[in-house]
Amino acid sequence: MSDAPPVLRARPLSPHILQWRWHITMATSILHRVTGVGLYVGLLILAGWALALASGPDVYGTYSGLLGSAIGKIVLFGVTVSLFFHMANGVRHLVWDFGKGLAPRTADITAWIALAFAAVAAVGVWVLAAVTGALRP
Amino acid sequence: MSDFRTALGRARGLGSAKHGVGHFIGQRVSAVALLCLTLWGVASALSVAAGGYEGARTWLASPVNAALLGLLILAGFYHAQLGIRTIIEDYIERPVTKAALLVLNAFVGWGAAALGVVSILKVTFGAGS
């Protein structure tokens, strides 16, 4: 046993978050988490909708009025975007689980596809809602 | 040394509990279910939104719609509760705070799921009378 105090070597550190160059696969990874939390809110809204429907016409009227307001529509549009992004990116994850699609170039391309799908599908659903009269108060 | 198990683990001779991948598999199985259920949910929301209170009651009176909406809510909160759990475990360091948030996560998720499912059943079973 030595009497000398133990010398601690400086531990290696991973680069700080601000040192990373933003790249698309990093953005989709972070967005997957963010949209997951967003969808939690969406689920609470859905459960609340069922509760309102079970509570009678007055409560349902108030609840659907809230969802149909400007803020309600913004929130619901955010939930729609979150759903379609999380869905597309979730499919990427399922493919990765089989060891496929992990090459950087492929991962970059599928990341852009997931983002594009989220935008197109969300706007498409809301255009459809407007056309079919679902957005009328 | 060829064995990295602890002395207690060796003495018991049982190896791992064999369910360490439960979270991983549960997350993925519910993901596949939700892939189908949410697409149905979006299509249904478009038709239900225009129908008002009576239209929504009629829609939920159908056993197929009630069952699928119930499954959407249950699979959704199961999947979400696993995901939020991972986020809490990743970012919260203090053990007490972490435990409290994990319990809160389970309570809010299953509480909301139970409210949603019971509400669905109330509308469905009330519709026949």
Q: What is the largest CA-CA distance in chain A?
A: 82
Question: Cβ of A51 and B60 within 8 Å?
Answer: no
Taking a C-beta distance cutoff of 8 angstroms, is the pair A46, A39 a contact? no
Write the ipTM. Answer: 0.86
- Residue written as token pair 């079970």: A54
List CB contacts (< 8 A) between A50 and chain B: 60, 69, 73, 115-117, 119-120, 123
- Identify which of A90, A73, A132 has the alpha carbon closest to the alpha carbon of residue B39: A90
Contacts of A36 in chain B (CB under 8 A): 80, 83-84, 87
Q: What is the length of chain A?
A: 137
Q: Give phi and psi for A20, each to the nearest 5.
A: -80, 135
Cβ atoms B92, B84 nearer than 8 A? no
B58's tokens: 């009629």
B64 to chain A, closest Cα gap in Å: 15
Tokens (6 digits) for B92: 């919260």
Per-residue pLDDT of chain A (137 residues; tens, 9 = 90+): 556 667 777 877 777 767 778 899 999 999 999 999 999 999 999 999 999 999 999 999 999 999 999 999 999 999 999 999 999 999 999 999 999 999 999 999 999 999 999 999 999 999 999 999 888 76
Please state the rounded mean pLDDT for residues B99-128.
95
Closest CA to A119 of A98, A88, A95: A88
Which value, to the nearest 10 degrees, does the dihedral of the CA atoms of residues A72, A43, B108, B85 take?
-120
pTM across the whole model? 0.87
Give pLDDT, residue A4: 67
Provide the number of CB pairs (under 8 Å) joining chain A to chain B.
90
Contacting residues of A for B52, CB less than 8 Å apart = 64
pLDDT one-digit tens code per residue, B26-70: 999 999 999 999 999 999 999 999 899 999 999 999 999 999 999
B73 CB neighbours in chain A (<8 A) are 43, 46-47, 50
Q: How far is CA A104 from CA A17, A25, A108, in A?
A: 20, 9, 6
**Residue contact A125–B120, C-beta within 8 A:** no
CB-nearest to B80 from A43, A64, A91 is A43
Residue B127, min C-alpha distance to chain A (Å) = 11
Mention every residue, 6+ apart, whose C-beta is less than 8 A from residue B5: none
- For residue B70, what pLDDT is reported? 98
Nearest to B38 by CA among A35, A57, A58: A35
